[in-house]
Protein backbone atom coordinates (compact mmCIF):
# COMPACT_ATOMS: atom_id res chain seq x y z
CA UNK A 1 0.00 0.00 0.00
CA UNK A 2 1.24 3.51 -0.77
CA UNK A 3 2.68 5.48 2.11
CA UNK A 4 0.03 7.65 3.79
CA UNK A 5 0.64 11.40 3.66
CA UNK A 6 -0.21 13.40 6.80
CA UNK A 7 -0.38 17.13 7.46
CA UNK A 8 -0.28 18.32 11.07
CA UNK A 9 -1.04 21.99 11.72
CA UNK A 10 0.73 23.36 14.76
CA UNK A 11 3.09 20.53 13.90
CA UNK A 12 6.16 21.95 15.62
CA UNK A 13 4.32 22.69 18.88
CA UNK A 14 4.01 20.75 22.11
CA UNK A 15 1.35 18.29 21.00
CA UNK A 16 2.12 18.72 17.29
CA UNK A 17 5.68 17.45 17.56
CA UNK A 18 4.53 14.28 19.33
CA UNK A 19 1.73 13.79 16.79
CA UNK A 20 4.15 14.12 13.85
CA UNK A 21 6.49 11.63 15.50
CA UNK A 22 3.74 9.09 16.18
CA UNK A 23 2.43 9.26 12.61
CA UNK A 24 5.93 8.99 11.10
CA UNK A 25 6.70 6.01 13.36
CA UNK A 26 3.59 4.34 11.93
CA UNK A 27 4.88 4.76 8.39
CA UNK A 28 3.40 8.07 7.28
CA UNK A 29 5.12 10.82 5.36
CA UNK A 30 4.45 13.83 7.58
CA UNK A 31 4.31 17.56 6.94
CA UNK A 32 4.50 19.70 10.08
CA UNK A 33 2.73 22.90 9.04
CA UNK A 34 3.35 25.70 11.48
CA UNK A 35 3.92 29.40 11.80
CA UNK A 36 7.55 30.23 11.08
CA UNK A 37 9.72 32.44 13.19
CA UNK A 38 10.64 30.96 16.57
CA UNK A 39 14.16 29.54 16.19
CA UNK A 40 14.13 27.80 19.60
CA UNK A 41 10.92 26.02 18.73
CA UNK A 42 12.35 24.98 15.36
CA UNK A 43 15.50 23.61 17.02
CA UNK A 44 13.49 21.62 19.57
CA UNK A 45 11.31 20.23 16.80
CA UNK A 46 14.29 19.17 14.66
CA UNK A 47 15.98 17.52 17.64
CA UNK A 48 12.83 15.60 18.58
CA UNK A 49 12.03 14.43 15.06
CA UNK A 50 15.51 13.79 13.62
CA UNK A 51 15.81 10.78 11.35
CA UNK A 52 12.10 10.55 10.64
CA UNK A 53 10.16 11.23 7.44
CA UNK A 54 8.89 14.62 8.65
CA UNK A 55 9.22 17.89 6.75
CA UNK A 56 8.46 21.30 8.20
CA UNK A 57 6.31 23.65 6.12
CA UNK A 58 5.74 27.30 7.04
CA UNK A 59 2.03 28.02 7.35
CA UNK A 60 -0.20 30.58 9.02
CA UNK A 61 -3.49 28.71 9.40
CA UNK A 62 -5.42 32.00 9.56
CA UNK A 63 -4.46 32.62 5.91
CA UNK A 64 -7.07 30.86 3.75
CA UNK A 65 -5.07 31.20 0.53
CA UNK A 66 -1.86 29.97 2.15
CA UNK A 67 -3.70 26.85 3.38
CA UNK A 68 -4.99 26.19 -0.14
CA UNK A 69 -1.51 26.67 -1.59
CA UNK A 70 0.12 24.31 0.90
CA UNK A 71 -2.46 21.61 0.24
CA UNK A 72 -2.28 21.87 -3.53
CA UNK A 73 1.54 21.81 -3.44
CA UNK A 74 1.57 18.60 -1.37
CA UNK A 75 -1.13 17.06 -3.55
CA UNK A 76 0.85 17.87 -6.69
CA UNK A 77 4.13 16.49 -5.38
CA UNK A 78 2.94 13.56 -3.28
CA UNK A 79 -0.37 12.53 -4.82
CA UNK A 80 -2.70 13.61 -2.03
CA UNK A 81 -3.24 14.17 1.68
CA UNK A 82 -4.66 11.17 3.53
CA UNK A 83 -4.53 12.44 7.10
CA UNK A 84 -5.12 15.99 8.37
CA UNK A 85 -4.57 16.78 12.02
CA UNK A 86 -5.70 20.25 13.07
CA UNK A 87 -3.53 20.88 16.11
CA UNK A 88 -2.72 24.60 15.75
CA UNK A 89 -3.95 26.43 18.82
CA UNK A 90 -3.18 29.43 20.99
CA UNK A 91 -4.44 30.89 24.27
CA UNK A 92 -5.11 34.47 25.32
CA UNK A 93 -6.46 33.74 28.80
CA UNK A 94 -8.29 36.43 30.70
CA UNK A 95 -11.75 36.94 32.12
CA UNK A 96 -14.35 38.16 29.66
CA UNK A 97 -14.62 41.54 31.37
CA UNK A 98 -10.94 42.17 30.60
CA UNK A 99 -10.87 40.44 27.21
CA UNK A 100 -10.38 42.79 24.29
CA UNK A 101 -11.46 42.13 20.74
CA UNK A 102 -7.91 41.33 19.63
CA UNK A 103 -7.69 38.53 22.22
CA UNK A 104 -11.03 37.11 21.08
CA UNK A 105 -10.16 37.39 17.38
CA UNK A 106 -6.68 35.88 17.75
CA UNK A 107 -7.97 32.72 19.44
CA UNK A 108 -11.00 32.27 17.21
CA UNK A 109 -9.04 32.82 14.01
CA UNK A 110 -6.21 30.40 14.80
CA UNK A 111 -8.18 27.76 16.71
CA UNK A 112 -11.40 27.70 14.71
CA UNK A 113 -11.01 29.55 11.38
CA UNK A 114 -7.72 27.66 10.97
CA UNK A 115 -9.61 24.37 11.10
CA UNK A 116 -11.98 25.57 8.39
CA UNK A 117 -9.17 26.95 6.21
CA UNK A 118 -7.06 23.82 6.15
CA UNK A 119 -9.89 21.28 6.11
CA UNK A 120 -11.69 23.15 3.33
CA UNK A 121 -8.54 22.91 1.25
CA UNK A 122 -7.90 19.21 1.96
CA UNK A 123 -11.41 17.75 1.86
CA UNK A 124 -11.97 17.69 -1.92
CA UNK A 125 -8.88 15.56 -2.53
CA UNK A 126 -9.85 13.13 0.24
CA UNK A 127 -13.35 12.74 -1.21
CA UNK A 128 -12.02 12.29 -4.73
CA UNK A 129 -9.63 9.54 -3.59
CA UNK A 130 -12.22 7.92 -1.30
CA UNK A 131 -10.07 7.98 1.80
CA UNK A 132 -9.39 10.54 4.51
CA UNK A 133 -8.85 10.97 8.22
CA UNK A 134 -9.43 14.38 9.79
CA UNK A 135 -8.54 14.64 13.47
CA UNK A 136 -9.26 17.90 15.28
CA UNK A 137 -7.41 18.63 18.51
CA UNK A 138 -10.05 20.22 20.73
CA UNK A 139 -9.75 20.46 24.53
CA UNK A 140 -11.37 19.40 27.78
CA UNK A 141 -11.98 23.12 28.23
CA UNK A 142 -14.26 23.10 25.19
CA UNK A 143 -16.35 20.49 27.00
CA UNK A 144 -16.49 22.10 30.43
CA UNK A 145 -15.69 25.78 29.84
CA UNK A 146 -12.76 27.17 31.78
CA UNK A 147 -12.50 30.30 33.90
CA UNK A 148 -10.55 32.88 31.89
CA UNK A 149 -11.05 31.08 28.57
CA UNK A 150 -14.30 32.30 27.01
CA UNK A 151 -12.45 32.65 23.70
CA UNK A 152 -10.59 29.33 23.87
CA UNK A 153 -13.54 27.33 25.23
CA UNK A 154 -15.81 28.74 22.51
CA UNK A 155 -13.34 27.87 19.77
CA UNK A 156 -12.70 24.38 21.12
CA UNK A 157 -16.41 23.61 21.49
CA UNK A 158 -16.89 25.01 17.99
CA UNK A 159 -14.30 22.61 16.64
CA UNK A 160 -16.38 19.69 17.80
CA UNK A 161 -19.53 21.09 16.18
CA UNK A 162 -17.52 21.34 12.97
CA UNK A 163 -16.31 17.76 13.47
CA UNK A 164 -19.82 16.34 13.80
CA UNK A 165 -21.26 18.31 10.88
CA UNK A 166 -18.45 17.43 8.49
CA UNK A 167 -18.43 13.80 9.63
CA UNK A 168 -22.01 13.48 8.36
CA UNK A 169 -21.20 15.13 5.04
CA UNK A 170 -18.27 12.87 4.13
CA UNK A 171 -19.08 9.57 5.84
CA UNK A 172 -20.15 7.79 2.65
CA UNK A 173 -16.87 8.60 0.91
CA UNK A 174 -14.36 6.87 3.18
CA UNK A 175 -13.51 10.02 5.11
CA UNK A 176 -13.80 10.12 8.90
CA UNK A 177 -13.75 13.26 11.03
CA UNK A 178 -13.15 13.07 14.77
CA UNK A 179 -12.06 15.22 17.69
CA UNK A 180 -9.70 14.54 20.54
CA UNK A 181 -10.15 16.55 23.72
CA UNK A 182 -6.85 16.57 25.59
CA UNK A 183 -6.67 17.53 29.21
CA UNK A 184 -3.73 19.40 30.72
CA UNK A 185 -0.44 18.12 29.27
CA UNK A 186 3.26 18.85 29.59
CA UNK A 187 3.41 21.53 26.90
CA UNK A 188 4.69 25.10 26.81
CA UNK A 189 1.07 26.29 26.72
CA UNK A 190 0.23 24.62 30.01
CA UNK A 191 3.60 25.40 31.60
CA UNK A 192 2.96 29.11 30.85
CA UNK A 193 -0.01 29.12 33.26
CA UNK A 194 0.47 30.57 36.74
CA UNK A 195 2.05 27.77 38.75
CA UNK A 196 -0.48 27.75 41.59
CA UNK A 197 -3.42 27.59 39.18
CA UNK A 198 -1.83 24.69 37.31
CA UNK A 199 -1.11 22.87 40.57
CA UNK A 200 -4.73 23.33 41.63
CA UNK A 201 -5.91 21.76 38.38
CA UNK A 202 -3.49 18.82 38.60
CA UNK A 203 -4.88 18.15 42.10
CA UNK A 204 -8.28 17.55 40.48
CA UNK A 205 -6.99 15.11 37.84
CA UNK A 206 -7.85 11.58 38.97
CA UNK A 207 -4.67 10.20 37.36
CA UNK A 208 -2.80 12.76 39.46
CA UNK A 209 -0.46 14.26 36.89
CA UNK A 210 -0.23 16.18 33.63
CA UNK A 211 -0.57 14.17 30.44
CA UNK A 212 2.39 13.52 28.17
CA UNK A 213 2.16 14.71 24.53
CA UNK A 214 2.81 11.15 23.34
CA UNK A 215 -0.34 10.08 25.21
CA UNK A 216 -2.35 12.43 22.98
CA UNK A 217 -0.40 11.39 19.90
CA UNK A 218 -1.27 7.73 20.29
CA UNK A 219 -4.97 8.65 20.30
CA UNK A 220 -4.42 10.59 17.06
CA UNK A 221 -2.67 7.60 15.51
CA UNK A 222 -5.57 5.38 16.58
CA UNK A 223 -8.17 7.60 14.88
CA UNK A 224 -5.97 8.16 11.80
CA UNK A 225 -5.40 4.46 11.17
CA UNK A 226 -6.70 2.76 8.05
CA UNK A 227 -8.82 0.39 10.13
CA UNK A 228 -10.56 3.20 12.11
CA UNK A 229 -13.15 3.71 9.36
CA UNK A 230 -16.20 3.06 11.55
CA UNK A 231 -15.33 5.76 14.09
CA UNK A 232 -16.59 9.13 12.93
CA UNK A 233 -18.09 12.24 14.50
CA UNK A 234 -16.68 11.08 17.82
CA UNK A 235 -14.86 12.97 20.53
CA UNK A 236 -12.13 11.06 22.32
CA UNK A 237 -11.28 12.59 25.71
CA UNK A 238 -7.68 12.03 26.84
CA UNK A 239 -7.64 13.94 30.09
CA UNK A 240 -6.55 11.70 32.97
CA UNK A 241 -10.18 11.57 34.15
CA UNK A 242 -10.45 15.35 34.70
CA UNK A 243 -13.84 15.36 32.97
CA UNK A 244 -15.85 12.19 32.62
CA UNK A 245 -19.02 11.96 30.54
CA UNK A 246 -20.79 9.55 28.23
N1 LIG B 1 -12.83 30.09 39.66
C2 LIG B 1 -13.36 31.13 40.36
N3 LIG B 1 -12.70 32.30 40.57
C4 LIG B 1 -11.47 32.42 40.09
C5 LIG B 1 -10.86 31.37 39.37
C6 LIG B 1 -11.59 30.18 39.19
N7 LIG B 1 -11.09 29.13 38.52
N8 LIG B 1 -9.63 31.78 38.99
C9 LIG B 1 -9.48 33.06 39.45
N10 LIG B 1 -10.58 33.42 40.12
C11 LIG B 1 -10.86 34.70 40.75
C12 LIG B 1 -9.58 35.41 41.15
O13 LIG B 1 -9.18 34.96 42.42
C14 LIG B 1 -10.02 36.87 41.13
O15 LIG B 1 -10.74 37.13 42.29
P16 LIG B 1 -10.71 38.59 42.95
O17 LIG B 1 -11.15 39.55 41.88
O18 LIG B 1 -11.65 38.47 44.09
O19 LIG B 1 -9.26 38.80 43.35
C20 LIG B 1 -11.03 36.92 39.98
O21 LIG B 1 -11.48 35.57 39.80
C22 LIG B 1 -10.48 37.45 38.67
O23 LIG B 1 -9.16 37.06 38.55
P24 LIG B 1 -8.16 37.96 37.74
O25 LIG B 1 -8.52 39.39 37.79
O26 LIG B 1 -6.80 37.52 38.15
O27 LIG B 1 -8.49 37.47 36.28
P28 LIG B 1 -7.62 37.62 35.01
O29 LIG B 1 -8.44 38.26 33.95
O30 LIG B 1 -6.28 38.21 35.29
O31 LIG B 1 -7.41 36.13 34.57
C32 LIG B 1 -6.55 33.96 34.62
C33 LIG B 1 -6.99 35.15 35.45
C34 LIG B 1 -5.23 34.30 33.92
C35 LIG B 1 -7.56 33.62 33.55
C36 LIG B 1 -6.40 32.81 35.56
O37 LIG B 1 -7.60 32.59 36.22
C38 LIG B 1 -6.00 31.54 34.86
O39 LIG B 1 -4.87 31.37 34.42
N40 LIG B 1 -6.95 30.59 34.78
C41 LIG B 1 -6.72 29.28 34.20
C42 LIG B 1 -6.91 29.33 32.74
C43 LIG B 1 -6.55 28.00 32.16
O44 LIG B 1 -6.87 26.94 32.67
N45 LIG B 1 -5.86 28.02 31.03
C46 LIG B 1 -5.46 26.82 30.41
C47 LIG B 1 -4.29 27.10 29.53
S48 LIG B 1 -3.64 25.60 28.85
C49 LIG B 1 -4.81 25.08 27.79
O50 LIG B 1 -5.75 25.75 27.48
C51 LIG B 1 -4.61 23.70 27.22
C52 LIG B 1 -5.83 22.90 27.31
O53 LIG B 1 -6.57 22.79 26.35
C54 LIG B 1 -6.12 22.18 28.56
- List the chain pLDDT tens, one digit each, 246 residues: 789 999 999 999 999 999 999 999 999 999 999 999 889 999 999 999 999 999 999 999 999 999 999 999 999 999 999 999 999 999 999 999 999 999 999 999 999 999 999 999 999 999 999 999 999 999 999 999 999 999 999 999 999 999 999 999 999 999 999 999 999 999 999 999 999 999 999 999 999 999 999 999 999 999 999 999 999 999 999 999 999 999
Residue 184 beta carbon below 6 angstroms from any ligand 1 atom: yes
Evaluate whether residue 239 is within a structural domain.
no
Is 238 among the domain residues? no
Q: Is residue 89 in a domain?
A: yes
Q: What is the pLDDT of residue 1?
A: 74
Q: Which position among 152, 157, 219, 240 bears the catalytic label?
A: 152
Mutate to test the pocket of ligand 1, among 15, 147, 157, 196 (most ligand atoms within 8 A of CB): 147
Contact 172, 237 (CB under 8 A): no
How many domains, in total, are found in the chain? 1
C-alpha pair distances (Å), 127 with each of 78, 95, 172, 202: 16, 41, 9, 41
Q: Is residue 243 part of a domain?
A: no
Q: For residue 220, give Cα distances in angstroms to 2, 40, 62, 83, 181.
A: 20, 25, 23, 10, 11
CATH of the domain at 130: 3.40.50.720
pLDDT at 2: 87
109 CB within 6 A, ligand 1: no
Entry field: residues in the chain: 246
Residue 241 lies in a domain: no
Active site residue 184: no
Q: Write phi, then psi, for 142 (nearest 5 degrees).
A: -75, -25
Nearest atom (ligand 1) to Cα of 147: 7
- Distance between Cα 98 and ligand 1 center (Å): 11
Structural domain includes residue 245: no
Among protein residues, the one whose CA lies closest to atom 46 of ligand 1: 190
Q: By residue range, what is the domain housing residue 107?
A: 5-232
Query: Does residue 162 have its Cβ closer than 6 Å to ligand 1?
Result: no
Query: 147 CA distance to ligand 1 centroid (A)?
Result: 5
CA 225, CA 194: separation in Å to the nearest integer?
Answer: 37
Q: Which residues contact 154 (CB under 8 A, 6 or more apart)?
A: 108, 112
* pLDDT for the residue numbered 37: 84
In a domain, 179, yes or no: yes
Residue 119 lies in a domain: yes
Amino acid sequence: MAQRVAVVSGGTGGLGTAICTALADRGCKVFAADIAGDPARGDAFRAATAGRDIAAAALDVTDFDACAALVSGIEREHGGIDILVNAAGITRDTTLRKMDKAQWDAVLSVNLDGVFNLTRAAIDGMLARGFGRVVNISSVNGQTGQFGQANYSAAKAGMHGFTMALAREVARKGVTVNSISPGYCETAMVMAMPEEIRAGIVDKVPVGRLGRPDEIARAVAFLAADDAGFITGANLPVNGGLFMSF
